[in-house]
Amino acid sequence: MTTKPNFQEMSIEQLRDYILANRSDDEAFQVYIDRKHAQNPNAVPMTIEEAEADLQRRFGQQAH
């Protein structure tokens, strides 16, 4: 059994890289979204599809 990393101890960049490598980890994605919201609480919420498209646009990765 593999232990998940402590997402709260990761920088936002480390967390983003982890999500890009582990796209099915919903817990990590939620922590990322929560932390991004905390950085910009006035941001307009997005759907999962919009968030994936945004990540793809920003980081040049293919969404799976």
Whether 5 is in a domain gets the answer no
How confident is the model at residue 62, as a pLDDT?
52
* Total structural domains within the chain: 1
CB-count burial class (<10 Å; 0-12, 13-18, 19+) for 15: buried
Contact present, 60 and 53 (Cβ < 8 Å): no
pTM as predicted: 0.61
Whether 55 is in a domain gets the answer yes
pLDDT tens string 34-59: 998 888 888 777 788 888 888 888 88
Nearest to 33 by CA among 20, 46, 14, 18: 46
pLDDT band of residue 63 (cuts 50, 70, 90) is: very low
Whether 6 is in a domain gets the answer no
Query: What tokens were used for 34?
Result: 């929560």
Whether 51 is in a domain gets the answer yes
Whether 3 is in a domain gets the answer no
Whether 24 is in a domain gets the answer yes
Q: What range defines the domain where residue 52 resides?
A: 11-59
Whether 2 is in a domain gets the answer no
Q: Where are the alpha helices (DSSP H) in 1-64?
A: 12-21, 26-39, 48-59
